């Protein structure tokens, strides 16, 4: 089958009963997971229905959390039909008793007349008619064809079982023909819970039987728009005006309802007569080898029957809906005369299978290689992509129905590899800490800058650098910390920030030992100095107030703060005159010329301060001892 995309919308109007509203489709694979026939194609991260594969069961409509899978609205067409005048008859599916339960069931005909319908009848009349034709003497059993989704499934996926389908039209089609047989000038609008009915009405063999097919959801919207409040009561008037006696056919929307209508035992105990509901059960039914000859089966694609249809749009559990239908069906009412009314009932079904190209093991292997699953250990079969297994996903990728990026474990590994690659190649040092400020990851640039290795992973970052900034982040007093410091014979710019949700802290370090400082960096240094000075002043005030109790501690803290400020300016390398007057880090006693870093009296590489000697760094916490997990060295 061709992998070209299928357009869900043609000329601004949906061409099929169920389509995708692309604006609402948000990287979700639930429809892929729940579609019983795999008719969803993922392209560019969006899920589209492949109409050639879709059976219109509406499972995706019920399951889509974003309401991106949508049933086509034909409401405007129905409104135009009613507004055009003439005899407009509403054929209402028997599930209406569940959608409009209790007293609302009896009020529905009056509400429909308020909308402009000339006459209202129950589709159950057509159900009674086709039941008699389907179970007529001489038939050798088979599967009933009231459900268009079942018919579509057999035509597209099990055409070899077409002979098992009883060649009789559905209740909707039969009822439309009966109405037009009785009133030739009538136009028929079907209303029910099924999305597949919309396309069934357009099948070549069914044209003309029903003019428009609406859903209960569309009817509810129409009533609301017209201001028809059924709960508040409606004027008395004629109820449904039958063309035939529906009898027990009002039970059709329930599992076994057709069998009960035909007088067949539907208790589920007979091996030759039984109902089947739900997508997987229907698929299993036609997967069994052999035929259904000698068996009479009532298959409905919606689990629980038509009362659980995708366009039901109403409250109530399956049990509550069943009770409402049964109550309406068994209510006493006079039987109308139906003698002599006949209409064509025969139906023809044909194969509509789309053949796929054969998928080879080598193709599957290539997809596994692309997604890192050559090793069976990595084939998790997690189902996150919507497919039952990694192999099913690979086959879908080959057929153009899926994308490798749908695999969550693969994308997670890809993201991790990308992150690792960024860290590995970054010229800046990067370290990641856990909630206790212990190092969990460091990149090569960080290791080179601070002469350490993976042997220190698990230890607190304070064994390598000043942890003041990380501690402020940990306390929650800062959301980002930036400073310029010196250690191990280098001067570095650090930017620290937290990953609160992950419980991680990240530090980025740039070696600025040979960098000419711009105004922004000078501002950072000035702000840092001001902060330290204020801390110093605050401490001194507290010291004066509590001298007796804190003399020893105060002296040590004051010394430390003074040492930080001295170290920051490296008094002999950056003096008061060196900031802006040419005597600082660029031209005077500072970093690059004169007496600074490359040979001056107070620099980092002079005779007194090189290679770990005294004075290299007044902020060194513990020298180089312990780096790389070993015995340490003498600094840089």
| Pairwise pLDDT comparison (592 vs 32), residue with the higher score | 32
Give the burial string for 256-265 (b: 16+ CB within 10 Å, else e).
bbbbbbbebe
Strands across the sheet containing 187-192: 119-122, 88-92, 187-192, 212-215
pLDDT the model gives residue 160: 95
The model's confidence at residue 526, banded by pLDDT at 50, 70 and 90, is low
- Are the C-beta atoms of 409 and 378 separated by less than 8 Å? yes
Q: What pLDDT digit, counting tens, does each position of 209-224 carry? A: 999 999 999 999 999 9
Backbone angles phi, psi at 21, to 5 degrees: -90, 100
pLDDT the model gives residue 567: 54
Residue 58 has pLDDT above 50, yes or no: yes
pLDDT the model gives residue 255: 95
Q: How far apart are CA 480 and CA 486, in angstroms?
A: 20
Lowest mean pLDDT among 49-53, 200-204, 230-234: 230-234
DSSP letters for 404-419: GGG-HHHHHHHHHHHH
**Furthest-apart CA atoms within the chain: distance in Å:** 121
Evaluate if pTM is beyond 0.75: no
Residue 473 has pLDDT above 70, yes or no: yes
The model's confidence at residue 564, banded by pLDDT at 50, 70 and 90, is low
The model's confidence at residue 206, banded by pLDDT at 50, 70 and 90, is very high
pLDDT the model gives residue 32: 93
User: Closest Cα partner for 286 from 160, 149, 145, 166?
Assistant: 160
Q: What is the mean pLDDT of residues 369-377?
A: 90
Backbone angles phi, psi at 191, to 5 degrees: -135, 125
Segments in 516-573 forming alpha helices (H):
519-545, 547-569
**Long-range contacts of the stretch 571-575 (C-beta < 8 A, 24+):** 571/602, 572/600, 572/601, 572/602, 572/603, 573/597, 573/600, 573/602, 573/603, 573/604
Q: How far apart are CA 171 and CA 123, in angstroms?
A: 6
Q: What pLDDT digit, counting tens, does each position of 400-458 carry? A: 999 988 888 888 878 777 777 888 888 999 999 999 999 999 999 999 999 999 999 99
Residue 613 has pLDDT above 70, yes or no: no
Q: What is the mean pLDDT of residues 388-409?
A: 91
189 bridge partner residues: 90, 212
Strands across the sheet containing 481-487: 439-442, 429-433, 504-511, 490-499, 481-487
Lowest mean pLDDT among 3-17, 73-87, 370-384, 508-522: 3-17
Rounded to the nearest angstrom, the gap between the alpha carbon of residue 130 and the centroid of all alpha carbons in its chain is: 42
Q: Is 560 helix (H, G, I), strand (E, B) or coil?
A: helix
Tokens read off for 274? 């039984």
User: Closest Cα partner for 124 from 247, 275, 259, 299?
Assistant: 247
Determine the angle formed by the axes of helices 519-545 and 547-569, rounding to 10 degrees: 160
- Are the C-beta atoms of 200 and 349 separated by less than 8 Å? no
Residue 134 has pLDDT above 80, yes or no: yes
Lowest mean pLDDT among 9-13, 148-152, 455-459, 495-499: 9-13
Tokens read off for 494? 């650090």
Residue 612 has pLDDT above 50, yes or no: no
Tokens read off for 249? 């056919």
Give ∠ CA 15-73-300 in degrees, rounded to 5: 85
For residue 9, how many other CB atoms are within 10 A of its CB? 14
Q: What is the mean pLDDT of residues 193-205?
A: 96
The model's confidence at residue 258, banded by pLDDT at 50, 70 and 90, is very high
Rounded to the nearest angstrom, the gap between the alpha carbon of residue 178 and the centroid of all alpha carbons in its chain is: 45
Tokens read off for 598? 């490359």
pLDDT the model gives residue 529: 52
- Are the C-beta atoms of 493 and 509 separated by less than 8 Å? yes
Q: What is the dihedral of CA 104, 108, 109, 113, to 10 degrees?
A: 130
Residue 520 has pLDDT above 70, yes or no: no
Q: Which helix (H) or strand (E) holds 468?
A: helix 468-475
Distances (CA, A) of 402 to 29, 94, 366, 369, 376: 10, 39, 15, 16, 20
pLDDT the model gives residue 589: 35
Which DSSP letter does residue 447 get? Answer: H
Task: Return the beta strands (E) in 50-87 as ranges.
Answer: 69-71
Among positive and negative, which fits the CA dihedral 91, 95, 98, 102?
Answer: positive
Q: What pLDDT digit, counting tens, does each position of 292-338 carry? A: 988 999 999 999 999 999 998 888 999 999 999 999 999 988 777 76
Q: How far apart are CA 573 and CA 222, in angstroms?
A: 84
Task: Return the beta strands (E) in 80-232 as ranges.
Answer: 88-92, 119-122, 142-143, 187-192, 212-215
- Are the C-beta atoms of 291 and 163 separated by less than 8 Å? yes
pLDDT the model gives residue 233: 66
Lowest mean pLDDT among 171-185, 288-302, 534-548: 534-548
| Pairwise pLDDT comparison (240 vs 559), residue with the higher score | 240
Q: How far apart are CA 406 and CA 386, in angstroms?
A: 8
DSSP letters for 495-518: EEEEETTTTEEEEEEEE-TTPPP-
| Pairwise pLDDT comparison (153 vs 27), residue with the higher score | 153
For residue 185, how many other CB atoms are within 10 A of its CB? 7
Supply the mean pLDDT for the chain: 82
505 bridge partner residues: 433, 498
HSE, side-chain direction, 13 A CA sphere, residue 486: 26
Q: How far apart are CA 613 and CA 387, in angstroms?
A: 65
Could you tell me what percent of the chain has a pLDDT over 70? 78
Distances (CA, A) of 294 to 140, 147, 166, 291: 6, 21, 12, 9
91 bridge partner residues: 121, 190
């Amino acid at each position: 089958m061709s992998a070209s995309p299928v357009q869900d919308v043609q000329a601004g109007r949906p061409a099929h009963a169920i389509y995708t509203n692309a604006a609402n489709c948000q990287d979700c694979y639930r429809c892929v997971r729940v579609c019983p026939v795999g008719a969803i194609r993922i392209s560019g991260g969006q899920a589209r229905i492949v109409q050639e594969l879709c059976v219109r069961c509406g499972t995706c409509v019920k399951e889509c959390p974003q309401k991106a899978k949508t049933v086509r609205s034909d409401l405007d067409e129905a409104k135009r039909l009613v507004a055009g005048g003439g005899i407009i008859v509403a054929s209402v599916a028997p599930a209406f008793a569940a959608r409009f339960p209790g007293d609302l069931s009896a009020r529905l005909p009056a509400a429909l007349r308020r909308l402009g319908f000339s006459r209202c009848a129950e589709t159950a009349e057509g159900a009674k008619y086709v039941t008699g034709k389907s179970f007529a003497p001489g038939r050798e059993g088979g599967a009933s064809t009231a459900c268009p989704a079942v018919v579509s499934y057999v035509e597209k996926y099990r055409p070899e079982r077409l002979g098992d389908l009883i060649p009789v039209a559905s209740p909707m089609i039969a009822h439309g023909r009966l109405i037009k047989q009785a009133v030739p000038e009538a136009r028929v609008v079907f209303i029910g819970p099924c999305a597949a009915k919309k396309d069934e009405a357009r099948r070549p063999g069914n044209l003309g039987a029903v003019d428009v097919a609406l859903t209960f959801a569309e009817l509810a919207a129409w009533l609301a728009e017209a201001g028809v409040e059924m709960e508040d009561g409606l004027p008395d008037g004629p109820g449904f005006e039958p063309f035939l006696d529906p009898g027990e056919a009002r039970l059709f929307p329930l599992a076994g309802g057709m069998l009960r209508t035909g007088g067949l035992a539907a208790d589920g105990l007979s091996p030759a007569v039984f109902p089947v509901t739900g997508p997987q059960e229907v698929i299993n039914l036609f997967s069994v080898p052999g035929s259904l000859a000698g068996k009479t089966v009532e298959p409905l694609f919606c689990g629980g029957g038509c009362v659980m249809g995708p366009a039901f749009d109403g409250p109530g559990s399956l049990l509550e809906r069943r009770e409402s239908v049964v109550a309406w069906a068994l209510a006493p009412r006079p039987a109308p005369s139906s003698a002599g009314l006949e209409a064509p009932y025969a139906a023809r079904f044909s194969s509509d299978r789309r053949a796929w190209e054969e998928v080879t093991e080598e193709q599957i292997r290539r997809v596994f290689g692309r997604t890192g699953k050559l090793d069976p250990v990595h084939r998790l079969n997690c189902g996150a992509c919507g497919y039952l297994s990694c192999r099913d996903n690979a086959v879908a990728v080959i057929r153009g129905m899926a994308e490798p990026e749908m695999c969550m474990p693969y994308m997670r590994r890809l993201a991790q590899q990308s992150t690792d690659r960024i860290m590995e190649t970054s010229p800046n040092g990067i370290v990641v800490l856990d909630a206790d400020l212990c190092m969990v990851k460091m990149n090569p640039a960080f290791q080179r800058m601070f002469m350490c290795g993976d042997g220190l992973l698990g230890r607190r970052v304070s064994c390598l650098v000043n942890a003041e900034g990380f501690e402020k982040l940990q306390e929650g007093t800062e959301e980002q910390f930036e400073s310029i410091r010196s250690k191990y014979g280098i001067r570095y710019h650090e930017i620290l920030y937290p990953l609160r949700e992950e419980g991680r802290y990240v530090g980025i370090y740039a070696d600025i030992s040979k960098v000419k400082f711009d105004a922004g960096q000078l501002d950072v240094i000035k702000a840092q100095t001001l902060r330290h000075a204020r801390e110093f002043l605050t401490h001194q005030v507290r010291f004066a107030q509590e001298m007796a109790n804190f003399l020893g501690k105060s002296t040590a803290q004051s010394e430390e703060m003074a040492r930080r400020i001295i170290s920051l300016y490296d008094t002999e390398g950056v003096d008061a005159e060196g900031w802006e007057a040419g005597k600082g880090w660029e031209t005077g006693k500072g970093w690059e010329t004169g007496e600074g870093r490359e040979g001056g009296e107070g620099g980092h590489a002079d005779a007194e301060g090189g290679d770990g000697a005294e004075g290299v760094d007044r902020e060194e916490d513990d020298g180089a001892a312990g780096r790389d997990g070993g015995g340490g060295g003498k600094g840089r």
